[in-house]
Chains A and B, each alone.
Chain A
């Protein structure tokens, strides 16, 4: 480890030294480049937000982009389905629809009404994230079905290779998370929780993978995590036990806290909402922050372009090292967030399934105390 670190440092300095030597000749070049300086904040926010086309890569003088279908329903013109490439004409406008450049709908398609107002139509476009979601869902289904087939074919033989890894993951989730958190009835919930885990984990990993099917900020998008959190919310509240609902609507507190003004009920109801809300925000913020950091570190290379080639070269090395490091951290985070989401979901489900505690013990002790000759 020390040796590797030493090598990295050596490499950094040698590149810096080499760049120093070449600086005098390169100054003019770097100056000419600096005019197309890039706005890092814009770039990062652009990536984190959704878009109507999927920008793959740039060639020498053009960029390769997949134009995704736009599906809109507006009150005035009904359903409109077209490719997003149609939006990029000279007027940036197609059938009255255009991508807003400012205002609160920035980056989204808006409809300009006859009165000149900008209205947002019902936008069911297959955006970059939606396309990525559909592709990843398809891949995930194929993978898991394949694994299940290969396990089903010969259930008594322990699996090797990919099926073995997947089986290990499944067993780990079931044995370490679901079983202890939910208890006896865990088999009812394990398909949902396993799906949750693999969906999040797979999309996290796909988000880290920079080439085509990956690279979209899927699980770092609040709409995606919102749906996941709503799923958990529904599971928690639709399968809650009597005690769970009693604790919400008639908790064991002094009566004045709940009768004239339902203070406790409000607190408990807010509590039921904050659980999935926390799940939603956690996943979204972690993955989004990861993407933002990777992008920010990568743009170090281009930001320092204008500061001279010596700094630029050394910063490039620093940037690459840090990006690789952060990417590894993100791999870990991808797993941890999927794990935590599943863990907390199962803990919440387990809490909502709690049964009324047996009253027998209490009565027994009371009876014992009441027995004659049994003085305290």
Chain B
């Protein structure tokens, strides 16, 4: 604990690094998630083109929710700075 506080005191640049790593992880995770959604949606539409508009709406909603979580993470990282 002391070591950590000492480290944090001496190297104030580390918080920026932490924020950057946090943002990176969040973005990668969100990208994977949204990619999965896109893949599933394309497969679904290819199988059932007549359900395309429904699938698209659902896809946008789920992608938006995932994006929201990722943006939360990014904002929290922004608060670190």
Contact B57 A281 (CB under 8 A): no
> With a CB–CB cut-off of 8 A, which chain B residues contact A285?
71, 74-75
Q: Is A340 an interface residue (CB 8 A)?
A: yes
Q: Which residues of A contact B61 (CB under 8 A)?
A: 343-344, 347
Is A282 in the interface zone, CB < 8 Å from B?
Answer: yes
A278 to B62, CA, bound (A): 13
With the chains together, A344 CA to B74 CA distance in Å? Answer: 20
Would you give the 0/1 interface string for A158-197, flagging 1 where the beta carbon is closer than 8 Å to chain B?
A: 0000000000000000001100100000000000000000
Q: Which of B57, B60, B65, B74 contacts A278 (CB 8 A)?
A: B65
Instruction: Indicate if the CB atoms of B71 and A282 lie closer than 8 Å.
Output: yes
Tell me whether A180 and B57 are in contact (CB under 8 A).
yes
Name the CB-closest residue of B to A344: B64
Which residue of chain B lies nearest to A336 when distances are taken between CB atoms in the complex?
B60
Q: Please report the C-alpha to C-alpha distance between residue A96 and residue B1 in the assembled complex, in whole angstroms.
A: 45
Query: Contact check: which of A176, A180, A282, A343 meets B67 at CB < 8 Å?
Result: A282
Collect the chain A residues with CB atoms within 8 Å of residue B57's CB.
176-177, 180, 343
What is the interface residue range for chain B against chain A?
10 to 19
Taken residue by residue from 332 to 350, chain A's Cβ proximity to chain B (1 for < 8 Å, 0 otherwise) reads as: 0000000110011001000
Which of A176, A277, A343, A347 is in CB contact (< 8 Å) with B53?
A176
- The CB with the most chain B CB atoms within 10 A, among A177, A180, A278, A279, is that of A278
Residue among B53, B57, B68, B72 with max Cβ neighbours from chain A (10 Å): B68
Check if B64 sits within 8 Å of A340, measured CB to CB. Answer: yes
C-alpha gap A180/B61 in the complex (Å): 13
* Bound: A277/B76 CA distance, A: 13
Complex contacts, B72 vs chain A, CB 8 Å: 277-278, 281
Chain A, interface size category, equals 10 to 19
Pairwise interchain contact A281-B60, C-beta atoms closer than 8 A = no
| CB <8 Å contact, A343 and B64 | yes
Q: Residues of B contacting A282 with CB < 8 Å?
A: 64, 67-68, 71
Is B60 touching A340 in the complex (CB atoms < 8 A)? yes
0/1 per residue, A260-292, Cβ < 8 Å to B? 000000000000000001110110010000000
Return chain B residues, CB-CB under 8 Å to A339: 60
**Cα of A340 to Cα of B66 in the assembled complex, Å:** 13
Are B71 and A281 closer than 8 Å at their CB atoms? yes
Contact across chains for A278 and B68 when beta carbons are under 8 A apart:
yes
Cα distance A285–B71 in the bound complex, in angstroms: 7
CB-based nearest B residue for A279: B68
Min CB–CB distance B40 → chain A (angstroms): 19
Complex interface: chain B residues within 8 A of A176 (CB): 53, 57
Cα distance, A39 to B16, chains bound together (Å): 19
What is the minimal beta-carbon distance from A275 to any residue of chain B, in angstroms? 9
A176-B53, A176-B57, A343-B57 known; A281 and B65 CB under 8 Å?
no
Q: 1/0 contact trace for B37-78 toward A, CB 8 Å?
A: 000000000000000010001001100110111011011000
In the bound complex, residues from chain A placing their C-beta under 8 Å from that of B67 are 282
Q: How far is the CA of A343 from the CA of B69 in the complex (A)?
A: 17
User: Which chain B positions have C-beta within 8 A of A340?
Assistant: 60, 64
CB-defined contacts of B53 to chain A, threshold 8 Å: 176
Q: Taking the nearest CB of chain A, how far is it from the CB of B47, in angstroms?
A: 21
Interchain CA distance A281-B67 in the complex, whole Å: 10
Q: Taking CB as reference atom, which chain A residue is nearest B56?
A: A176
Whole-angstrom distance between the alpha carbons of A8 and B37 in the complex?
34
Residues of B within 8 A of A180 (CB): 57
8 contacts between A and B (CB under 8 A): A180-B57, A277-B72, A278-B69, A281-B68, A282-B67, A339-B60, A344-B61, A347-B61
User: Knowing that A285-B71, A340-B60 are A-B contacts, what are 8 other residue pairs whose CB atoms are under 8 Å apart, sorted by A's residue number?
Assistant: A180-B57, A277-B72, A278-B65, A278-B72, A282-B64, A282-B71, A343-B64, A344-B61
B residues apposed to A, CB below 8 Å: 53, 57, 60-61, 64-65, 67-69, 71-72, 74-75
